[in-house]
Chain A
Amino acid sequence: MSTASSQAPSPGSPPATATSPLKAVTRFRLFWPAVVLAVLLVANLGFTPGFFAVHVQGGHLYGSLIDILHFGAPLILVSLGMTLVIATGGIDLSVGSTVAISGALACLQISRSADPGSLGTVLTAVGIALGSALVLGVVNGVLVAKVGVQPIIATLILMVAGRGVAQLITDGQIITVTSDPYKLIGGGYWLTMPFAILLSALVVLAAVLLTRLTALGLLLESVGGNPVASRLVGIRAMRLVALVYVFSALCAALAGLMVSSNVSAADGNNAGLWIELDAILAVVLGGTSLNGGRFSIGGTVLGALIIQTLSTTVYTIGIPPETTLVFKAFVVIAVCLIQSPAFRAKLAGRGARARRTAAARPHAVAPINREVGK
C-alpha cells in the first residue's frame, strides 16, 4: 500500500517527480486560465489590429485593454466574493439582486439630497448601500450557517425577493443622479486610471492578504474540503461560513455602486441581472471547484477577465446580437473542457481506454441482458 502511494504523482511534489519542465508549467494552477485569456486577446488582435494599443488622452488612459479591466471591474468584485463562498462549498445566487439594491439605495439617497454633488452626500449614500449589503449578507449567512438551509435555496430567496426590493426602492423607475463624486466610483479617473480598476484591484489585494496572511484561507479550504473533519478539529465553521456570505454581499454592493455610478442611474430591473451566473462561471474558469475546498483568487480574476474579454470580442467582431449568448455558451463550454484534466486525459488516452474496457468484460453480452442486447 505504501509503495503504491509513494509512486503516485502529487501536484505538490518537489521537482524530482515532475517529468519535464513543460509538465511542471502546465500543472501550475493558473496556467490554463491564463492560456485561454491570452488566446482570446490575441484572437481579438486579429480582428482589431490596434487592440493592444493603450494611449493617454487628457491625462487618462484609453484602449481596449483598459476597457476590459474597467467594465470587468464589477464582475471581478462579485466573483471575488463568490470565490470565498464557493470555497466553503456554498454558492451565492443573490449577488445580482444585491448589486441592484445597493445602486438603488445610493442613487435614491443622492437624488433626494439637497446637495447631490457634495462629498458628504456621496459618502452617506455609499455607507447606506454597504450597510444594507451587510444586513443582506448576514441574512444569507445566518440562513446557511445557522439555520442550515442549503446555500442555493437560501440565496435564491434573496435573489428573487431582492430584485423586487430594488424595484420598490426605485419605485419601478430609473433614478438618475448628477453627482461628480459619485460618478468617480464607476466612471471617473484617478492617477490616469479608471477609478473602478483601482478600487477593484485594492479589494482583490486586500482579500488575498486577508486570506493568505492570516489562517483564514486555510480554515476556509478545510471547511469546504471536508466539513465533517473540520468540525472534529475544532474549526468554528459556522462563523466562517456566515462571514463569507457577508463578504460576498459587500463585494456585490461595491459592484452595484460601480455599475450605477458608471451610468449615473439606478435601474432596479436590470442592474446586475444574471451577474451571479457570470461570477460563478468566472470562479469555475479560475480553477476553484464548485465542491468547495481549494480556491484561487488569482484564477477568479483571470476567469472574470476571460468573460469580459469574451463580451468585448462579441461586440468587436460583430456577432449579431441575437446569437451572442449562443456564441458565448459555446466558447465557455470549450474553455471548461480544455481546463478539465479528465477531459484532456480522455482525449489523449481514448484508444487505450476503449481497448482496456473491452478486455475487462469478456462476458459483457449475457442472456439476461435484454436492455443492452437491444
Chain B
Amino acid sequence: MQQPVLEVRGIRKEFPGVVALDGVDFRLFPGEVHALIGENGAGKSTLIKVLTGVHPADGGEVVLAGSQVWIAGPLQAQQAGISTVYQEVNLCPNLSVAENIFIGREPRRFGLINWAAMRRRAAELVRELDLDIDVSAPLNSYSIAVQQLVAIVRAVDVSAKVLILDEPTSSLDRDEVRQLFAVIRRLRDQGVAILFVSHFLDQIYEICDRMTVLRNGRLEGEYLIGELNQVQLVSRMIGAELAGLDQLGGGKRRERTAPAGGTAFLQADGLTRRGAVDPYDLAIRSGEVIGLAGLLGSGRTEAARLLFGADQSDGGTLRIEGAETVLRSPRDAIAHGIAFCSENRKTEGLVGELTVRENIVLALQAARGWLRPLSRTAQDAYALRWIRALDIRPGNPEALVRNLSGGNQQKVLLARWLITDSKLLILDEPTRGIDIGAKAEIQKLVANLAEDGMAVLFISAELEEVLRLSHRVGVLRDHRMVAQLDNDGELTPERVMATIASGADQ
C-alpha cells in the first residue's frame, strides 16, 4: 500500500475541563479526498487546528511524508506543506486577485514587486484550475464562491501537499459547489491530499474517497466511502449501537402517550427565522415532553431559541396559552413562564465567577428587578434546598460555579429555572458531557416535572434518551422539521435515525 503523506498517531489535546482529542489516529493519502466527519464538538476543528499548528498537541505524534514533525505554528504547517482554507475566506477583499494569491511572497525584481510577473503567474494558476477570472480585478468584485476558489489557488500554490478545506461549501449554492468540486477533483488528480470537512452528508458521498469519523474526541473509525451507507454513518456519528439500543433500560422503556387534550400551552405555526430554521409547526401541552432529534447543527437549537425569544422569528405565529404572542426578548418569554437551559452551559448559561447560590437565584432576581432583592436568607434557602434536591456537589452554595463539574453545573442551571414559576422548560442538550449518574438523575427529574404538569421541550443528540422521555419526537434535518413522530411504543431509534438520514419518515 502507498505511504500516507500525513499521519497522526494517538493525538491528544486537552482544554481546561475538556478532553477535545483523546488518542486520535488519522491518515491522509496523496491523491485522495478524505472526509473528516463528526458532530459539533466531536473534535474535528481541534484536529484541524492541531494539524495547522494553531493549537499544539498535548500528546501523540505527527508524521509528515515519512518523518516525524512538531508543528509549532501556522507558518511551520505551511512550510511543511499543509495549507488550510477556512469557512470564512481569510483574504483581503480590497486587493486584486493576483495580490491575494501572492501576498507576502510577491515576485520581486531589484527589490521591487514585479507586477507584470505577478499577474502573469496568477493568470496561469487560475487557468490551471479552469477559472475564468480577471486577476487584476479586486477580489471583492467576485462572489464568495470565487473568493474561496482564489483562496484555494493561493493555498495550493503556497504548498501543495495537503489541502484542508474547512466547511468550504456552507455558503455556496449548487452550481458553485459543482465548480468547487471540479477544482477539488483536478487537485486530487494532481496528487494533492485533500481533507474535506463538511456537515453535508450528500456532498461527502459525492466527492470523498475515504472518511474518518470522530465522536466525543475519539476516533470512531476510518472507512472507505462505499463501506457505509448514510444511515450507518449517522449511527457511527451519534454513537448509538443500533442493536444495543433496545436493551437499554432493561427493555422497560415505557410507552409514552400524550396527556389528554385541552389547548396547547405553546403552539408555533410556521415559525421561522431565515438562515436558522425553516417554517415549522409545533404544539406543546402541559405535562407533555416533546423531544427534538437531529444531528447537531440541524436546526434544533435554532428552533428552540425562537420559542424563548432568544432570536426573533421573521415569520409564522406563536400562541402561548391560546393567545398570539410576539416574544421580543428572553425577558418576554420568561414573563410567559418559559425557561431555557442553553446547550452552552459556560457561555450562555452560567456566570462562572459567581457562586452557586448567585447563579441559582439569578433568573428569579432578574424577574423581580434590582429594587426587590431576595433577602440573603431567602437566597440561602433556595440554594440549599435545590443543592439537596438535585444533589449538587460540592454542596457549598458559596462555591464558584466555574469550579463545578459539567453535571453539577447543569443541575445549577436547572435549579435556576425550577425556582421560577416556569410552565415550559426548554432543555437543550441537558445531559451532554456529564457522567452517567447525573444523566440518569436529570432524566428522572424531567419525567417527574412533566408528570407534575410542566411542559418540556427536550433536545438531545442521544436518541435513546429522547425516546425514553418524550411523548412525541420532532426530527430536524438541514434546518427543517422533517417529521413529528408519536412515541407510541412502535417508534424505534432505527426509525428515527432513518428519518434523520433520509429526511422523511419511512
CB neighbours of B351 from chain A (8 A): 221-222, 225-226, 229-230, 293
CB neighbours of A230 from chain B (8 A): 351, 362, 366
A323 at the interface (CB under 8 A from B): no
From 323 to 370 in chain A, residues with beta carbon under 8 angstroms from any chain B beta carbon are 360-361, 363-370
Distance, CA A370 to CA B70, complexed state (A)? 11
B121 at the interface (CB under 8 A from A): no
| Contact between chains at A368 and B373 (CB < 8 Å) | no
| Contact between chains at B70 and A236 (CB < 8 Å) | no
CB neighbours of B358 from chain A (8 A): 218, 221-222
Distance, CA A233 to CA B368, complexed state (A)? 12
| Contact between chains at A232 and B69 (CB < 8 Å) | no
Q: How many Cβ-Cβ contacts under 8 Å join chain A to chain B?
A: 156
Q: Mark B321-340, 1 if CB is under 8 A from A, else 0.
A: 00000000111001100001
CB neighbours of A228 from chain B (8 A): 347-348
Distance, CA A107 to CA B61, complexed state (A)? 72
| Contact between chains at B348 and A10 (CB < 8 Å) | no
CB distance from A299 to the nearest CB of B (A): 15
Q: Mark B55-69, 1 if CB is under 8 A from A, else 0.
A: 000110100100111
- Contact of B407 (CB < 8 Å), options: A1, A234, A363: A1
| Contact between chains at A229 and B329 (CB < 8 Å) | no
B310 at the interface (CB under 8 A from A): yes
CB distance from B399 to the nearest CB of A (A): 5
Distance, CA A335 to CA B156, complexed state (A)? 51
CB distance from A208 to the nearest CB of B (A): 14
Closest chain A residue to B433, Cβ basis: A1
Q: Which of B362, B396, B404 has the most CB of A within 10 A?
A: B362
CB distance from B440 to the nearest CB of A (A): 13
A66 at the interface (CB under 8 A from B): no
Q: Mark A1-20, 1 if CB is under 8 A from B, else 0.
A: 11011101111111000000
From 116 to 139 in chain A, residues with beta carbon under 8 angstroms from any chain B beta carbon are none
| Contact between chains at A229 and B374 (CB < 8 Å) | no
Distance, CA A221 to CA B400, complexed state (A)? 13
CB neighbours of B59 from chain A (8 A): 360
Closest chain B residue to A360, Cβ basis: B58
Q: Mark A210-246, 1 if CB is under 8 A from B, else 0.
A: 0001111011011001101111111110001000000
- Contact of A231 (CB < 8 Å), options: B329, B335, B370: B329
| Contact between chains at B76 and A371 (CB < 8 Å) | yes
| Contact between chains at A234 and B75 (CB < 8 Å) | no
CB neighbours of B435 from chain A (8 A): 1-2
B319 at the interface (CB under 8 A from A): no
| Contact between chains at A294 and B72 (CB < 8 Å) | no
| Contact between chains at B373 and A214 (CB < 8 Å) | yes
Distance, CA A111 to CA B371, complexed state (A)? 41
| Contact between chains at A233 and B396 (CB < 8 Å) | no
Distance, CA A363 to CA B398, complexed state (A)? 44
Known: A5-B404, A218-B365. A12 touches B399 (CB 8 A): yes
A114 at the interface (CB under 8 A from B): no
B256 at the interface (CB under 8 A from A): no
| Contact between chains at B408 and A2 (CB < 8 Å) | yes
| Contact between chains at A1 and B399 (CB < 8 Å) | no
B198 at the interface (CB under 8 A from A): no
| Contact between chains at A12 and B438 (CB < 8 Å) | no
Q: Mark B354-395, 1 if CB is under 8 A from A, else 0.
A: 110010011101111111111000000000000000000110
| Contact between chains at A229 and B348 (CB < 8 Å) | yes
B80 at the interface (CB under 8 A from A): yes
| Contact between chains at B330 and A215 (CB < 8 Å) | no
Q: Which interface class (under 10, 10 to 19, 20 to 34, 35 or more) fits B?
A: 35 or more
Distance, CA A369 to CA B370, complexed state (A)? 57
| Contact between chains at B398 and A12 (CB < 8 Å) | yes
Q: Which of B59, B70, B80, B349 has the most CB of A within 10 A?
A: B70
| Contact between chains at A232 and B373 (CB < 8 Å) | no
CB distance from B22 to the nearest CB of A (A): 14
| Contact between chains at B354 and A221 (CB < 8 Å) | yes
CB distance from A347 to the nearest CB of B (A): 22
| Contact between chains at A368 and B79 (CB < 8 Å) | yes
B73 at the interface (CB under 8 A from A): yes
Q: Mark B407-435, 1 if CB is under 8 A from A, else 0.
A: 11000000010000000000000000011
Q: Which of A230, A233, A293, A365 has the most CB of B within 10 A?
A: A233
A191 at the interface (CB under 8 A from B): no
CB neighbours of A219 from chain B (8 A): 365-366, 370
Distance, CA A225 to CA B71, complexed state (A)? 35
CB distance from B266 to the nearest CB of A (A): 17
CB distance from A294 to the nearest CB of B (A): 5
Distance, CA A135 to CA B45, complexed state (A)? 48
| Contact between chains at B438 and A234 (CB < 8 Å) | no
Closest chain B residue to A211, Cβ basis: B370
Distance, CA A213 to CA B394, complexed state (A)? 27
B269 at the interface (CB under 8 A from A): no
A372 at the interface (CB under 8 A from B): yes
CB distance from B52 to the nearest CB of A (A): 13
| Contact between chains at B416 and A229 (CB < 8 Å) | no
Distance, CA A229 to CA B330, complexed state (A)? 10
- Contact of B405 (CB < 8 Å), options: A4, A360, A372: A4
Known: A225-B354, A361-B70. A232 touches B342 (CB 8 A): yes
B130 at the interface (CB under 8 A from A): no
B138 at the interface (CB under 8 A from A): no
Closest chain A residue to B350, Cβ basis: A229
Closest chain B residue to A5, Cβ basis: B405
B353 at the interface (CB under 8 A from A): yes
CB neighbours of B335 from chain A (8 A): 234
CB distance from B110 to the nearest CB of A (A): 27
- Contact of A293 (CB < 8 Å), options: B310, B353, B367, B370: B353
Distance, CA A234 to CA B72, complexed state (A)? 44
Closest chain A residue to B332, Cβ basis: A234
Q: Mark A289-301, 1 if CB is under 8 A from B, else 0.
A: 0000110000000
From 168 to 226 in chain A, residues with beta carbon under 8 angstroms from any chain B beta carbon are 213-216, 218-219, 221-222, 225-226
Distance, CA A232 to CA B359, complexed state (A)? 13
CB distance from A98 to the nearest CB of B (A): 25
Closest chain B residue to A212, Cβ basis: B373
B40 at the interface (CB under 8 A from A): no
Closest chain B residue to A236, Cβ basis: B331
B502 at the interface (CB under 8 A from A): no
- Contact of A366 (CB < 8 Å), options: B69, B331, B348, B365: B69
| Contact between chains at A229 and B365 (CB < 8 Å) | no
B191 at the interface (CB under 8 A from A): no
Closest chain A residue to B357, Cβ basis: A12
Known: A11-B400, A235-B366. A1 touches B350 (CB 8 A): no
CB neighbours of A222 from chain B (8 A): 351, 354, 358, 362, 366
| Contact between chains at A232 and B340 (CB < 8 Å) | yes
| Contact between chains at B76 and A369 (CB < 8 Å) | yes
Known: A5-B408, A215-B368, A222-B362. A365 touches B347 (CB 8 A): no
CB distance from B4 to the nearest CB of A (A): 17
B23 at the interface (CB under 8 A from A): no
| Contact between chains at B72 and A213 (CB < 8 Å) | no
- Contact of B331 (CB < 8 Å), options: A1, A10, A234, A294: A234
CB neighbours of B405 from chain A (8 A): 1-2, 4-6
Given contacts A219-B365, A371-B72, A371-B76, list 9 more A-B pairs with CB under 8 A: A1-B406, A10-B403, A11-B400, A228-B347, A231-B310, A234-B335, A368-B64, A368-B80, A369-B76
A-B contact pairs, 26 of them (CB 8 A): A2-B393, A2-B408, A2-B435, A6-B394, A6-B405, A215-B372, A219-B365, A226-B351, A229-B347, A231-B310, A231-B330, A233-B330, A233-B363, A234-B329, A234-B331, A235-B362, A236-B331, A293-B351, A293-B353, A293-B354, A360-B59, A364-B72, A366-B70, A368-B64, A368-B71, A371-B76
Q: Which 8 A-B pairs have the closest CB atoms?
A: A12-B398, A5-B405, A215-B373, A234-B331, A366-B70, A225-B351, A2-B405, A234-B334
